[in-house]
Amino acid sequence: MVTFAGKLVLAPMVRAGELPTRLLALKYGADLVWSPEIIDKKLLQCTRQVNDTLKTIDFVVPSVKDGKPPTVVFRTFAELERGKIIFQMGTSTPSLAVEAARKVIQDVDGIDINAGCPKHFSIHAGMGAALLQTPDVLCKILTSLVEQIGKPNSKPISVKIRILDSEDLTLKLVRRLCATGISNLTVHCRTTPMRNRQAPIRDYLPRIYEICQAHGVSLIMNGALQNRLHFYEIRKEMGLPTDIGGMMADCAEENPTVFSETPLRWFHVVKNYLEIAHQFDHNVSNVKYMLTRMTPGKSKFYQFFTRCKTMREVDHVAAQLSDEGTMVCDPTLFLDQCRQQEKEAKNRANQAHSQDGKHNANSNFQKRHLLDTRDSDLSQSKKSKH
């Protein structure tokens, strides 16, 4: 069974926590990686597929449109992720949580329940941070998962929370959570209304740790950790034991190599990321999203990447990045030509559609004319008989 104690891990991040980011984080020293939050009902719509081409396990939702490829909801590469991938689930119903977890448990190394995300996509229908207001439901979810999924499969069940409005309320909740049989508790050291730009409140950690220790539960702290060395500094400054782990989100989104004691510069991160994205045929939309997170906003390359619409364009722009982060050649003309070609192709398609419309209209007119002529001839024939 995977252990969490003292580990430095990649946080669950919607859009940012897809396979290429996770593999890059692992390559540069992440001990464990979390999947993005995936809602139980969404997972239950999925079909598990073995991707022989990419050597991955894919959970996909079939397309509702003919000819469209299925949507990959979750993809894992066991060769590098086995023993290190924790699947985070959004749920508010014990039975659905168990059913969804059962579907994925053989391909991951633990199930984590999201009880900390304050955003609408997570808290609607009582999920995410909304579970902090319904601790009975949260505890029932965790107990059900421990008994029906964790123990039978020898896989850990964990939960990620935020602190509450006071230390006493927080500790009361922690006691209840630890009593459910979970293996790990991750605490985002901010309250639900707090934003990431606000300094985390880490004062509760020593007493939270005591409760966790009494129940045999490991503890991971989350909030404003900048890199591996900063994680070590925070633990030392606060006098925290070395078996308290750390979780990184925003800084790891901008640079997944911050798990190394010597992180790469952003332009090397971009090159490394793209190499992995190509290996796993990653979709251009998410690639573009990540590149705009990794590239400094003041860099001209930020604007170049935002203009890209295909992997061909992304690759051309990235090829203009030198090993020193300078520009080899301005890609503006190339991108302008791509947009012009796109515009011309759209115009040709519109013209073809218009011609088809005219052709269909003429065809319909001719059909109506033939029918009218036939009806007229029949009418004249009847009159002549009479």
Q: Are strands 38-39 and 47-51 parallel, antiparallel or unpaired?
A: unpaired
Tallying the residues shown for the chain, one arrives at 386
Residue partners of 14: CB distance under 8 A and separation at least 6: 36, 37, 121
Catalytically active residues are 117
CA dist list (Å): 208 to 32, 159, 203, 205: 22, 14, 10, 5
Question: Rounded to 5, what percent of the chain is helix, strand, coil?
Answer: 50, 15, 35
- Is residue 204 within 8 Å of 189, Cβ to Cβ? yes
What are the structure tokens assigned to 289, written together? 């999203």
CA dist list (Å): 136 to 58, 94, 173, 217, 375: 33, 11, 10, 19, 76
CA dist list (Å): 48 to 104, 157, 355: 8, 21, 44
Distance separating the N- and C-terminal Cα atoms of the chain = 97
Of residues 295, 117, 138, 147, the one with CA closest to residue 222: 117
